[in-house]
Amino acid sequence: MRPPHFDWSIHYRCPNDCPYCWYHAVRPTLEPANFYPGAETVLAAWRRIREKYGECELSITGGEPFSYPGFIPLCAELTRLHRVFIATAQCAGIPELASLSEKGKLEISASFHPESVALETFAEGAWKAAASGVLKRVWLVGWPPFLERLSSYNAEFSRRGIEMKVYPFWGNWAGREYPAAYTQAQRELIAPYLGAREGQNMQLVPKKTAGLPCRAGQLHAVIHPDGNAFRCGGENYRRQQAPFGNIFSPDFALLDGPAPCRADVCPHNEWAFLLA
């Protein structure tokens, strides 16, 4: 059986406020939910998880991870406990983090936000960061206003030897709900760059998962900044389920087995490795 996987939104602070972000509409309410207990408390939580489940896969997102206080030394220590994956829009700190981390235990994806930074500037920064050996690809959200420019974006990254992948947009734009509202022409623009998870393409048509037996909570959890653990990202996509635990609690444990999906859809494509 695969090792447990955790998606950790380390905090909600971000220098960008992208209109396609999961948190855009509620960002003003999220600041009180940020939680900074100190590096030792954080490391103690992930050590307990290591002791209970062995080396896990830890995907760190946000907000912007590199704006978390003391992130670089904290993350370097985390690579001594688990395999760490980071999604970041800030490439400048990547070489330092790579130099401090355990070899082979860190992988980073750079998030390109065209409304916040010039393409050439970001591509050059990603290229320099890629020399560290840990930056593997660039991701871009398939927001409808970006789609006509995907080929030009890709050309800029490709000539620097960097792979570009597109994550479908989940949300409302111009009164229409995406990804279901993508036209056939838009799907064709995305298709050459469509990202995947565990070998399954990201969804351009939402997959209904409610009630299906799923190992979310058993082999996977989404961790909020306060440590609350939810079975998956879909549990809080336009609904609110109760957490099943908190990683800062000494008795935190994953579920014993599969359970019916409590979400309506699976926006993070977690179904690809969790459906029982």
Res 238: pLDDT: 67
Res 239: pLDDT: 64
User: In the predicted model, what is the mean pLDDT of residues 84-112?
Assistant: 98
Beta strands at 220-223 and 228-230: parallel, antiparallel or unpaired: antiparallel
User: In the predicted model, what is the mean pLDDT of residues 150-163?
Assistant: 98
pTM: 0.95
User: In the predicted model, what is the mean pLDDT of residues 58-81?
Assistant: 98
Which domains, and CATH codes, for the chain? 5-274 (3.20.20.70)
Res 202: pLDDT: 97
Q: Per-residue confidence at 28, pLDDT binned at 50, 70, 90?
A: confident
User: In the predicted model, what is the mean pLDDT of residues 184-198?
Assistant: 97
pLDDT digit string (tens) for 157-166?
Answer: 999 999 999 9
Instruction: Decide: residue 228, CB within 10 A, 0-12 exposed, 13-18 middle, 19+ buried.
Output: buried
Residues in the chain: 276
CA separation, residue 194 to residues 2, 34, 70, 112 (Å): 25, 32, 34, 15
